[in-house]
């Protein structure tokens, strides 16, 4: 075994045993363990780790732990992702829906498996959103976030702040059902599908080519907008053709 001292930033202490929080502690690592191995053995997924200092010097997660090392582990700072594409696990349907409301590409299915999440993360370069820390420890999950909040609106605020989504948001431009971008459609082309009251009140509509749903700035546009406005500054489209409405 190799004995080293570890200390974690306050934001990461939720992953640790209570007796290891708020102070440095000694930990016996497996021989030839990397920092990644040791940190994840202590409960912290590698996707939650930012800067790591060993004996006061920056180190990568691939560095081997050596006898007597003093390891300090920090959480990553908020940062705008180069490509803000997400895959949300099966338990985060509410969060996925809110992200799609913002126009953010978010893959999600109610029965999505961990294997499918890992495949989408790898092949589509998506950031994994989950409350399953073991999923985030998988070697092929390169980018991910452990969602701390329990309620969808608070989860949205957390993820939006972590990845600075406010500036890139395009509210109500993506289908809530299948995640594809919405496109304007002429009223005449879908008039036969509209309830009489909707046809009388609205002139602007969008359409999803994937699931064939039609949207308009209906009654719950205001409710959704109010929910999104709770967490940050969003520029909502003035043009109702880009608004989201009742499917």
Q: Bigger pLDDT: 20 or 220?
A: 20
Token reading at 106: 């978010």
pLDDT at position 124 is 94
Euclidean distance between CA atoms 9 and 20, whole angstroms: 11
The band of 245, judged by pLDDT with boundaries at 50, 70 and 90, is very low
User: Residues 120, 126, 128, 134: is their CA dihedral positive or negative?
Assistant: positive
Euclidean distance between CA atoms 158 and 73, whole angstroms: 21
Euclidean distance between CA atoms 197 and 218, whole angstroms: 11
Which of 77, 76, 79, 57 lies closest to 66, judged by CA?
Answer: 57
Q: Bigger pLDDT: 201 or 63?
A: 63
pLDDT at position 16 is 97
pLDDT at position 238 is 53
Q: Which residue has the tokens 């999923």?
A: 135
Each residue of 148-180: pLDDT tens digit? 999 988 898 899 888 888 777 788 889 989 999
Radius of gyration of the chain (CA): 22
Q: List, edge to edge, every strand of the sheet that includes 25-29.
A: 25-29, 2-8, 70-73, 52-54, 57-58
Euclidean distance between CA atoms 79 and 162, whole angstroms: 6
pLDDT at position 234 is 60
Euclidean distance between CA atoms 101 and 236, whole angstroms: 11
Euclidean distance between CA atoms 115 and 57, whole angstroms: 36
Euclidean distance between CA atoms 113 and 104, whole angstroms: 21
Each residue of 13-54: pLDDT tens digit? 999 999 999 999 999 998 889 999 999 999 999 999 999 999
């Amino acid at each position: 075994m190799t004995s080293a001292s570890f200390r974690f930033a306050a934001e990461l202490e939720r992953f640790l045993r209570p007796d290891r929080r708020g102070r440095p502690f000694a930990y016996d690592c497996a021989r030839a363990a990397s920092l990644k191995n040791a940190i994840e053995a202590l409960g912290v997924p590698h996707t939650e780790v930012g800067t790591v200092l060993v004996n006061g010097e920056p180190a990568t997660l691939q560095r081997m732990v050596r006898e007597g090392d003093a390891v300090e582990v920090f959480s990553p700072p908020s940062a705008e992702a180069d490509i803000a594409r997400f895959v949300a696990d099966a338990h985060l349907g509410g969060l996925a829906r809110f992200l799609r409301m913002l126009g953010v590409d978010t893959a999600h299915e109610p029965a999505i498996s961990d294997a499918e999440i890992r495949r989408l993360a790898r092949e589509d370069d998506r950031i994994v959103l989950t409350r399953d820390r073991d999923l985030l420890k998988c070697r092929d999950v390169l980018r991910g976030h452990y969602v701390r909040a329990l309620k969808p609106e608070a989860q949205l605020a957390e993820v939006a702040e972590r990845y600075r989504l406010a500036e890139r948001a395009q509210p109500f431009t993506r289908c809530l059902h299948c995640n594809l971008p919405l496109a304007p459609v002429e009223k005449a082309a879908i008039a036969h599908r509209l309830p009489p009251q909707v046809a009388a009140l609205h002139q602007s509509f969008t359409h999803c080519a994937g699931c064939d749903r039609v949207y308009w700035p209906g009654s719950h546009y205001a409710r959704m907008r109010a929910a999104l406005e709770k967490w940050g500054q969003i520029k909502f489209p003035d043009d109702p053709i880009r608004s989201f409405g009742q499917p």
